[in-house]
Amino acid sequence: MRGTMQLDEILKDSSNHAENLIPVLQQIQAKHHYLPEEALRHVAGHFQIPLTQVFHVATFYNCFSLEPVGEHLVQVCLGTACHVRGAARVLDRLLRDLKLAAPGTTGDFQFTVQPVRCVGCCALAPVVRIDSNTHSHLTQAKVRGLLKRYQRKEAVPAAAVA
Amino acid sequence: MPKLHSVKELNARREAGLGASSPARPCLTVCAGSGCTAAGAQDVLQALRRSLQRQGMEGAIEVKSTGCHGFCEKGPLMIVWPEGIFYHHVTAGDAAAIVGSACNGRRPLDRLLYQDPVSGKRVLHEEDVPFYRLQQRVLFGNNGRIDPKSIDDYLRVNGYAALAKVLTEFPPEQVVGAVKRSGLRGRGGAGFPTGRKWEVMRQQPGAPKYIICNADEGDPGAFMDRSLLEGNPHSVIEGMIIGAYALGASEGYVYVRAEYPLAVQHLSVALAQAEEAGLLGENILGSGLTFRAHLVQGAGAFVCGEETALIASIEGRVGEPSPRPPYPAQKGLWGKPTVINNVKTWASVPVIINRGPDWYAAIGTERSKGTMVFSLVGKINNTGLVEVPMGITLRKMIYEIGGGIPQGKSLKAVQIGGPSGGCIPASMIDLPIDYEALTEAGSMMGSGGMVVMDQDTCMVDLARYFMEFLEEESCGKCFPCREGTQRLREILTRISQGLGHEEDLQLLEDLGWMVRETSLCGLGQTAPNPVLTTLRYFRDEYLSHIREKRCPAKVCKELITYHIEPALCDGCGACVRVCTSEAILGERKKLHSIDNAKCIKCGACMEVCVPKAVVVN
């Protein structure tokens, strides 16, 4: 219920003009870190457009996620400058250390690993952005220590976080 | 700031600002661009403020955070005014010493001064650092001088003077004429003459008309637009207001990547300030001009850099391009005439008005005028943002400004123009940077990404990397781009795994040609460039992968194995600790070896080995 109320607040300030659709989705994404299905249905109703159209936009742009993300968002830059300085190896190492087969969210919802193309800090390549902190000149050896700084002290059951 | 009703009031405001802040007043400016911030600039700023407080000097010396200076490699950067002493790699721990030296007129701190790698001498001023010496910072010059969040700072460096000039002296068509005469070409990539685009728009009937600033800088490895918006947002806004006046537009949009939070923040502040000061809105400076500007945040799609896709995105749709003609100048946003220009193009307009179109046209070459901003990155000593006159050679860019290739390695290629650009081999290093010269070489100017590669970069892997990016970012609307980028990536992957055939090279060329000729928009039309240029200049490297199953740069995982050189191993155990697959055998102080059956080729051991005993075969 609380979620619906927050959504109403976002929609309250937006007319149902088409140009407001993406900003509304961006606000929902910012609040929940993903776009819950219920919210998408609500948005479709507000804009009086088919759900498929909302889904089309939500799946087209990279900044939207249809899956919940973990407590910490780990964005691994795979921009060209980072690529030529070994970013792919850093990504592989991160995935191995977090026991993930592919980019995504860890079982305990602590981390979501997401490759991105360029955060614009090419001089500091390779870089990883965790939440809003940019970590520069990464090597594989630095990965474990870096993750430790963000890891929760005691493991909380995944359900409690989700 | 109170609303300014006339050019006279604007000038008075500028005079008042200049009077309040004498140039002789000491000031510490710290670069707070994304690069320096990641390197700790905010801590430095705080520490400087604390130190001043402690010494009771906070009233006497101002501390200011500015935009990007460009020399990101050496950040955090700062300057001590009025002497203009340039410090690099500053940390919070240096604050007390910096304040001490600035307050007491003591000599500059030697250890924070840049050391010329050739002469070994310490350099006092920014402009004498080799990285800056050949640059001509027409657009970026004010970045290190002003607080991007202060409109008064922008006024102090003659900001909004060009707007005042056109409103009082130039009829709109004369503004278009000046832009045309300057020879300015679009800085977003294609290089279409800006004046001509503007002329087409002016001739269109119908109202309202729109202008858009394209700040959807999606090229991986480029951050010019970001730095300009972060460091000097008012210069872009001023260019847009002048454009609105010249083109008869009443509304404007700035479309910025949401991945650039600092740019979004500074731009929002600047837009609000300009509105409050009466530089945006109704009856701007009493001239009768009405122009409103809005900020739109992109939602992350490389294709939205294409103008018709960008328009679709502002309208709330998916960013799929449409065929041109009709061009946006004829039928753009909401079906109305629209001009879209890149951030740097808009920021060039006030410069052209202030200095005159002839001054601008005197910079550069026959057909490429003015300055171009590049983000010089990759395997290069001086990484950063560089603004140079058009026509400068790659050699000067790489060796004089860039300081050459790190660790004494050799230059292999330069990739210019982002994923749609092409690779230029080291043998063509004397090529002048000019729209036509780059196109002839199979590359393109693009929006200014320049990635330098050394002997350790595999060209097949690089082509595969770009194709993977373009495949992901292809919007999927037209078949040749959607399917073509997938097939190209598959073939390249096969070759990088040692599974390619010689016929694949012909297939890559044919497919590349087809995608280029038949795709709907610029993304697909340029997508094969990285493949075609690497094939053209590095065919041997492709053949090594195919015939000998060998990756000469030792990058492609499937074609390499790691091993430890017994003569060099000192048994320190660093590689054992870093290996996650227990593939390294041997006790401490004894010779180590790699079990290739267990090795996953992550290369972590090579990264940590001090005596460089880990080698690739």
What is the C-alpha separation between A88 and A106, in angstroms, rounded?
19
Q: What is the pLDDT of residues A119-132, one digit of tens each?
A: 878 888 999 999 88
Q: What is the pLDDT of residues B559-597, one digit of tens each?
A: 999 999 999 999 999 999 999 899 999 888 889 999 999
Confidence of residue A81 (pLDDT cuts 50, 70, 90): confident
SS (H, E, C) A114-149: EEECCCCCHHHCCCEEECCEEECCCCHHHHHHHHHH
Domains in chain B, please, with CATH? 7-133 (3.40.30.10), 157-360 (3.40.50.11540), 371-454 (3.10.20.600), 459-548 (1.20.1440.230), 561-616 (3.30.70.20)
What is the C-alpha separation between B449 and B397, in angstroms, rounded?
13
Q: What's the pLDDT score for residue B376?
A: 93
B516 touches chain A (CB under 8 A): no
pLDDT > 90 in chain B, percent: 84
Residues in A closer than 8 angstroms to B379, CB to CB, are: 84-85
- Most confidently predicted of A42-51, A110-119, B26-35, B184-193: A42-51
What is the C-alpha separation between B254 and B268, in angstroms, rounded?
10
Domain boundaries along the sequence of chain A: 2-60, 72-151
Q: What's the pLDDT score for residue B117?
A: 85
Phi and psi, residue B347, nearest 5° = -70, -20
Q: What is the pLDDT of residues B88-110, one digit of tens each?
A: 999 999 999 999 888 877 789 99
Nearest CA-CA distance, residue A42 and chain B, Å: 17
CB–CB of B318 and A20 under 8 A?
Answer: no
Q: Nearest by CB to A84, from B35, B378, B603: name it.
A: B378
In sequence order, the 6+-apart residues with CB closer than 8 A to the CB of A73 are A33, A111, A112, A114, A130, A131
B82 touches chain A (CB under 8 A): no
B580 touches chain A (CB under 8 A): yes
- A8 pLDDT above the threshold of 90: no
In sequence order, the 6+-apart residues with CB closer than 8 A to the CB of B322 are B308, B312
B317 touches chain A (CB under 8 A): yes
pLDDT mean across residues, chain A: 87
- The mean per-residue pLDDT over the stretch B280-299 comes to 96
Q: What's the pLDDT score for residue B34?
A: 84
**When comparing pLDDT for A157 and B150, which is higher?**
B150
CB–CB of A97 and B580 under 8 A?
Answer: yes
Q: Nearest by CB to A21, from B72, B316, B384: name it.
A: B316
pLDDT > 70 in chain B, percent: 99
CB–CB of B297 and A26 under 8 A?
Answer: yes
Q: What's the pLDDT score for residue A16?
A: 85
- The mean per-residue pLDDT over the stretch A93-110 comes to 95
C-alpha angle B282-B272-B188 in degrees, rounded to nearest 5: 90
pTM: 0.93
Strands B338-342 and B422-425, sheet pairing:
unpaired
What is the C-alpha separation between B424 and B412, in angstroms, rounded?
9
- The mean per-residue pLDDT over the stretch B321-347 comes to 95
Confidence of residue A156 (pLDDT cuts 50, 70, 90): very low
Strands B411-416 and B449-454, sheet pairing:
antiparallel
CB–CB of B602 and A92 under 8 A?
Answer: yes
How many CB atoms lie under 10 A from the CB of residue B343?
Answer: 31
Q: What is the pLDDT of residues B517-570, one digit of tens each?
A: 999 999 999 999 999 999 999 999 999 999 999 999 999 999 999 999 999 999
Are B144 and B126 in contact by the 8 Å Cβ rule? The answer is yes
C-alpha angle B352-B353-B357 in degrees, rounded to nearest 5: 50
Q: How many helices (H) and strands (E) does chain B have?
A: 25, 19
Q: What is the pLDDT of residues B442-497, one digit of tens each?
A: 888 888 889 999 999 999 999 999 999 999 999 999 999 999 999 999 999 999 99
pLDDT mean across residues, chain B: 94
Task: Tell the residue number behind the tokens 């731009």, with chain if given.
Answer: B267
Q: Which CATH class is domain A72-151?
A: alpha beta
Q: What's the pLDDT score for residue B548?
A: 97
Strands B114-115 and B371-378, sheet pairing:
unpaired
Chain A: residue nearest B456 by CA?
Answer: A84
Q: What is the pLDDT of residues B159-170, one digit of tens each?
A: 999 999 999 999
CA A11 to chain centre: 22
